[in-house]
Amino acid sequence: MPARISMTKKQREALLALPETENEVIRHYTLDAADLAAVAGSRTPETRLSYALQLFCLRYPGRHLRRGEFLPPVMLDYRRADRCGYGSDRPLRSAWRDTV
């Protein structure tokens, strides 16, 4: 059994932090043709963008988006219009459904 490595809360947060610079976003979040095809299979532009953002976070830093988590603006700017068909002038409303 491998030994556990003890980390402080600050170290863990730094390890799991989302990229905040354009260079980091480009390095970690460029999608290939198969990824873009999977994203394109989503029904609405909002869902396509949400799918791409979740895919980004699962790849790097290797975790899902947390409920209520704010994404660095550079992540949204990188993906909005060009790849997911979501205009940068529209607010992000991810998979909102009315519940009655």
Confidence grade of residue 98 (pLDDT, cut at 50, 70, 90) = very low
**Lowest pLDDT segment from 21-30, 32-41, 74-83:** 74-83
Q: From CA 90, how far away is CA 41, in angstroms rounded? A: 21
Tell me the percentage of the chain whose pLDDT exceeds 70.
75
Is the predicted pLDDT of residue 100 greater than 50, yes or no?
no
In a domain, 26, yes or no: yes
- Is 99 contained in some domain? no
Residues of the domain holding 55:
16-84
Question: Mean pLDDT over residues 10-21, rounded?
Answer: 90
Q: Please report, for residues 56, 66, 85, 86, the alpha-carbon distance to residue 42 in angstroms, rounded to integers and kept in the order given.
A: 16, 21, 11, 12
Domain count, the chain: 1
Q: What is the pLDDT of residues 39-82, one digit of tens each?
A: 889 888 888 888 888 888 898 999 988 888 888 888 877 765 45
